[in-house]
Chain A
Amino acid sequence: MSEITPEVVAEHGLTPEEYERVLRIMGREPKITELGIFSVMWSEHCSYKSSKFWLKKLPTEAPWVICGPGENAGVIDIGDGKACIFKMESHNHPSFIEPYQGAATGVGGILRDVFTMGARPVANMNALRFGEPDHPKTRHLVSGVVAGIGGYGNCMGIPTVGGEVNFDPSYNGNILVNAMTVGIADTDKIFYSAAAGIGNSVVYVGSKTGRDGIHGATMASAEFDDDSDEKRPTVQVGDPFTEKLLLEACLELMATDAIIAIQDMGAAGLTSSSVEMSDKGGVGIEFDLDLVPVREEAMTPYEIMLSESQERMLMVVKPGREDMARKIFEKWELDFAIIGRVTDTNRLVLKSGGDVVCDIPVPPLVAEAPEYERPWVPTPPPAPLSAEDALASIDTSPIDALATLMASPDLCSRRWVWEQYDHMVMGDTIRRPGGDAAVVRVHGTDRALAITTDCTPRYCFADPVQGGRQAVAEAWRNLTATGARPLAITDNMNFGNPERPEIMGQFAGCIEGMTEACLALDFPVVSGNVSLYNETNGTGILPTPAIGGVGLIDDIRGPMPSAAFAAKDEDIVLIGATEGHLGRSMLIRMLADRDDGAPPPVDLAAERRNGDFVRGLITGGLVSACHDVSDGGLLLAVAKMALSGGIGANLSIPAGRGPALAWLFGEDQARYLVTTLRAEGLLATAKAARVPAITIGRTGGTVLTVGDGNSISLSDLRNAHENWLPSYMAAG
Chain B
Amino acid sequence: MKAAVIVSPGSNCDRDVQVALRQSAGTDPIMHWHGDADLPDVDLIVVPGGFSYGDYLRAGAVAAHSPVIREVVARANAGVPVLGICNGFQILTECGLLPGVLMRNAGLKFICRDVDLRVEAADTDFTRDYVNGQIIRIPVAHNEGNYFADDETLNRLDGENRVAFRYCTSEGEVTSASNPNGAARNIAGILNEGRNVLGMMPHPERLADALLGGTDGRPMFDGLVEALAAAA
Do A and B have CB atoms closer than 8 angstroms in the complex? yes
What is the interface of chain A, defined by CB distance below 8 A to chain B?
Answer: 147, 150-151, 154-157, 239-242, 244-245, 331-333, 418-430, 432, 441, 556
What is the interface of chain B, defined by CB distance below 8 A to chain A?
Answer: 9-13, 15-16, 19-20, 35, 49-51, 53-56, 109-113, 139, 141, 143, 203, 205-206, 209, 211-213
A154 adjacent to B110 (CB under 8 Å): yes
A241 adjacent to B12 (CB under 8 Å): no
**In the complex, which of the residues A151, A155, A422 contacts B10, with contact meaning CB atoms closer than 8 Å?**
A155
B15 adjacent to A427 (CB under 8 Å): yes
Using A154-B141, A155-B10, A155-B54 as known contacts, list a sample of 5 further A-B pairs with CB atoms less than 8 Å apart, ordered by residue number in A: A154-B110, A157-B11, A241-B51, A420-B110, A421-B110
Determine the distance from Cα of A332 to Cα of B35 in the docked complex, in whole angstroms.
Answer: 11
* With A241-B51, A422-B112 as contacts: A430 and B211 at CB distance below 8 Å: yes
B141 adjacent to A420 (CB under 8 Å): no
A157 adjacent to B206 (CB under 8 Å): no
A421 adjacent to B112 (CB under 8 Å): yes
Determine the distance from Cα of A425 to Cα of B207 in the docked complex, in whole angstroms.
Answer: 11
Residue of B at shortest CB range from A425?
Answer: B12
> For B20, B54, B56, B205, which residue has the most chain A Cβ atoms within 10 angstroms?
B54
A422 adjacent to B141 (CB under 8 Å): yes
Residue of A at shortest CB range from B9?
Answer: A245
B111 adjacent to A241 (CB under 8 Å): no
**In the complex, which of the residues B10, B211, B212 contacts A245, with contact meaning CB atoms closer than 8 Å?**
B10
Which residues from chain B contact A239 at a C-beta distance below 8 Å?
54
Determine the distance from Cα of A122 to Cα of B18 in the docked complex, in whole angstroms.
Answer: 17
Q: Which 7 A-B pairs have the closest CB atoms?
A: A157-B12, A241-B54, A427-B16, A155-B51, A422-B141, A422-B112, A420-B110
Residue of A at shortest CB range from B12?
Answer: A157
B211 adjacent to A556 (CB under 8 Å): yes
Can you list 5 A-B contacts (CB < 8 A)? A241-B51, A331-B35, A419-B109, A420-B112, A429-B212
Determine the distance from Cα of A591 to Cα of B69 in the docked complex, in whole angstroms.
Answer: 62
What's the least CB distance linking A329 to chain B, in Å? 12
* With A245-B10, A332-B9, A426-B15 as contacts: A150 and B110 at CB distance below 8 Å: yes
B112 adjacent to A419 (CB under 8 Å): yes
- Dominant secondary structure of chain B at its interface with chain A: mixed
A244 adjacent to B205 (CB under 8 Å): no
Determine the distance from Cα of A432 to Cα of B212 in the docked complex, in whole angstroms.
Answer: 9
Determine the distance from Cα of A155 to Cα of B144 in the docked complex, in whole angstroms.
Answer: 13
B212 adjacent to A424 (CB under 8 Å): yes
Which residues from chain A contact B15 at a C-beta distance below 8 Å?
426-427
Determine the distance from Cα of A486 to Cα of B212 in the docked complex, in whole angstroms.
Answer: 22
Residue of A at shortest CB range from B53?
Answer: A241
B205 adjacent to A241 (CB under 8 Å): no
What's the least CB distance linking B183 to chain A, in Å? 17
A420 adjacent to B111 (CB under 8 Å): yes
What's the least CB distance linking A198 to chain B, in Å? 36
**In the complex, which of the residues A147, A156, A424, A426 contacts B112, with contact meaning CB atoms closer than 8 Å?**
A424
A427 adjacent to B206 (CB under 8 Å): yes
Determine the distance from Cα of A144 to Cα of B137 in the docked complex, in whole angstroms.
Answer: 31
A422 adjacent to B212 (CB under 8 Å): no
Determine the distance from Cα of A419 to Cα of B209 in the docked complex, in whole angstroms.
Answer: 21
Which residues from chain A contact B111 at a C-beta distance below 8 Å?
419-420
Which residues from chain A contact B19 at a C-beta distance below 8 Å?
427
Determine the distance from Cα of A427 to Cα of B214 in the docked complex, in whole angstroms.
Answer: 12
Determine the distance from Cα of A604 to Cα of B20 in the docked complex, in whole angstroms.
Answer: 45
B109 adjacent to A155 (CB under 8 Å): no
B110 adjacent to A422 (CB under 8 Å): yes
Which residues from chain B contact A242 at a C-beta distance below 8 Å?
54
* With A424-B141, A426-B15 as contacts: A432 and B206 at CB distance below 8 Å: no
A427 adjacent to B56 (CB under 8 Å): no
* With A154-B51, A154-B141, A556-B211 as contacts: A426 and B16 at CB distance below 8 Å: yes
Which residues from chain B contact A426 at a C-beta distance below 8 Å?
12, 15-16
Determine the distance from Cα of A418 to Cα of B55 in the docked complex, in whole angstroms.
Answer: 21
Residue of B at shortest CB range from A332?
Answer: B9
Which residues from chain B contact A241 at a C-beta distance below 8 Å?
9-10, 51, 53-56
Determine the distance from Cα of A422 to Cα of B212 in the docked complex, in whole angstroms.
Answer: 14
A244 adjacent to B110 (CB under 8 Å): no
A427 adjacent to B139 (CB under 8 Å): no
A425 adjacent to B9 (CB under 8 Å): no
Which residues from chain A contact B112 at a C-beta distance below 8 Å?
418-424
**In the complex, which of the residues A155, A425, A441 contacts B55, with contact meaning CB atoms closer than 8 Å?**
A155
Determine the distance from Cα of A478 to Cα of B185 in the docked complex, in whole angstroms.
Answer: 43
Determine the distance from Cα of A241 to Cα of B11 in the docked complex, in whole angstroms.
Answer: 10
